[in-house]
Amino acid sequence: MNNPQTRTTHRWWVIGLCLAFGAALSVALGQDIFWDTRNYHLYNAWAFLHDRYAMDITAAGLQSYFNPLPDLPYFLLATGPLNAWPRLLAAVQGLWFGALAYLVLCIAQRLAALQQRRFGAADVCAALIGATGTMAVSQAGSTTNEIQLAVFLLLGLYVLMPLLSATAPPRPLARALWGGLCCGLAAGLKPTAIVYPPAMALALLIAMGAGRKLAWQAAMAYATGALAAFVLAYGYWGWHLYQATGNPIFPMFNQVFHSPLTVSGGGTDGRFLPRNLWQWLFYPFFWIGKQRNVVTESLFADARYALAMLAILALLAARLIRGPSSVQANAGTRILAIFAAVGYVLWMALFSILRYATPIEALTGLLMLCAVHAWWPRLWEKKPALRTAGFVLLLLVILGNTTYPNWWRGAYARHAIEADIGEVELNSLVILAGSPDAYLAPLFPQAENIQFVGLTWFTRASQDRGLWTLTRQRLGEHTGAFYLVRRDDPGTADELALLKDMLPQYRATDCRPIHSNMEISRGGKDMSQGLSLCRLQKG
């Protein structure tokens, strides 16, 4: 095993296995028809590629203003070379999950080296505990991009870990810069990862020793890389939003930037924030049993987070009672524990949406391993069979308690994305009443000649503001044909009432159903709720 060629071959074998599993898992889960996919992930990429910003108004509601860059790869593949190969598309998208699993294993291996012990079966089980978490597995192959962000963040952690070794690696500041680039890229692609770069910076500084000059230099190099990557990934889009709205992160935190297009407010979804003191203190323990609408919309159960919280508390107690076993071992443990703890607190305060906690979830098993190693170090040295059996049992118990959420998977069709919409007149305007309908926009025949206007809760929330005025003006000045995309859903009643307010003389006629594979569940259930295209005529 000490032969370099053997190690290289083994590593490629592990990479292949992880990627193959990620691809297979994604295919097995089914076609991604998640609400967000239909609402904005597909539309935003199309709007970016076709410069729709002067033609369309909030076709995907509030989410029309999200950075489209992370959605481009899936959209280009789904509408291009893999359109007729939906299973292959799912397999390619699932490679990200395989990369995540492999990175967790690599981090586990570096952690073992920092703790000056052999990497073994218990480490693999600990890595699998994190890699099999509810959020990572359920999002495999999806367009949410949370797994992609977790890959970049964990890659940053992996790059930084050699800085904690007793022998400093060559060019340590360059390594810190690269770690920052990985983490900053994640935050720039999707702001749901914005809480993690500062958590990583603090973890790096403390793990290297806040009293050391090199630690501060490394933290500064990391911050420089993170900021540069963030600007690279988000700078263009932020500038575009600033020019269009006056708010570089519109509509988020508009109470700070005061864009005239909508009301002053945070814009973030506060449904899942802790509701009382007990949840603020012990939120992960509320997720052990099956529940929904606490930190996710879908039914799920996961004990990993609660056990990881207990592990961090156990590490703190061990540090206070037993002291550090060695500088290296303590540094490896500290960077994981501080990153997870600080990232969790920031995540909970800003989002509390569990999908966004995927990077923390991936490290939960390693935190449990660190706690056991801190309290029973001789277990690793004297009784390898016992420690392996213990972590195998822990993995099985956790898996037995786990309920994976269902993020709207569908049956495979002839094409990855297809819809039978029918012809509309050229230079017409299509009103999308409610959500999630924006994915249909690029599927319209000659869509480049059609204007799309979304009427959603965000339009109503912007009443008497610039966005409301722009929408009324666009509808009032249009001289071509009007069409309406609607659903027979009580939830769209407000949007249809909004349409009546803005076009009081028009009524829907000649409605015809829209058939799309994005509206059919894996079991064949039609979820379209009467999705149809109607012509709007005066009278």
DSSP labels, 352-371: --GGGGHHHHHTHHHHHHHH
More confident residue, 115 or 200: 200
CA distance 140 to 145: 10
Confidence class for position 513, pLDDT limits 50, 70, 90: very high
Is residue 482 classed as helix, strand or coil in its secondary structure?
strand
CA distance 262 to 278: 35
Of 4-18, 287-301, 518-532, where does mean pLDDT reach its minimum?
4-18
CA distance 358 to 519: 27
> What is the bridge-based pairing of β-strands 515-516 and 482-486?
unpaired
Element of type H or E holding 535: strand 532-538
Confidence class for position 1, pLDDT limits 50, 70, 90: very low
Output the pTM of the full model: 0.95
pLDDT, tens digit (0-9, with 9 covering 90-100), for 266-309? 778 889 999 999 999 999 999 999 999 999 999 999 999 999 99
Task: Count other C-beta atoms under 10 Å from residue 470's C-beta.
Answer: 16
Q: For residue 374, what are the contacts with CB-CB under 8 A and spacing of at least 6?
A: 314, 315, 318, 319, 322, 325, 333
- In terms of phi and psi (left: phi > 0; alpha: psi -120 to 50; beta: otherwise), the region of 427 is left
Q: What phi and psi, each to the nearest 5 degrees, are found at residue 409?
A: -105, 145
Q: What phi and psi, each to the nearest 5 degrees, are found at residue 500?
A: -65, -35
Confidence class for position 265, pLDDT limits 50, 70, 90: confident
pLDDT, tens digit (0-9, with 9 covering 90-100), for 168-197? 788 999 999 999 999 999 999 999 999 999
Confidence class for position 330, pLDDT limits 50, 70, 90: confident
Question: What average pLDDT is seen over the chain?
Answer: 93
Confidence class for position 2, pLDDT limits 50, 70, 90: very low
Average pLDDT over residues 344-367: 97
Is residue 485 classed as helix, strand or coil in its secondary structure?
strand
- 64 closest CA partner among 84, 49, 43: 43
CB 166 within 8 A of CB 327: yes
Query: Tokens for 242?
Result: 């600033």
Give the largest Cα separation in the chain, rounded: 86
Burial (CB count within 10 angstroms: exposed 0-12, middle 13-18, buried 19+), residue 82: buried
Residue with tokens 């309290």: 375
pLDDT of 6 over the 60 cut: no
CA distance 341 to 306: 12
Q: What's the 3-state SS for 381-440?
A: HHCHHHHHHHHHHHHHHHHHHCECCCCCEECCCCCCCCEECCCCCCCCEEEEECCCCHHH
pLDDT, tens digit (0-9, with 9 covering 90-100), for 366-416? 999 999 998 888 777 788 888 899 999 999 999 999 999 999 999 999 999
Element of type H or E holding 512: strand 506-513
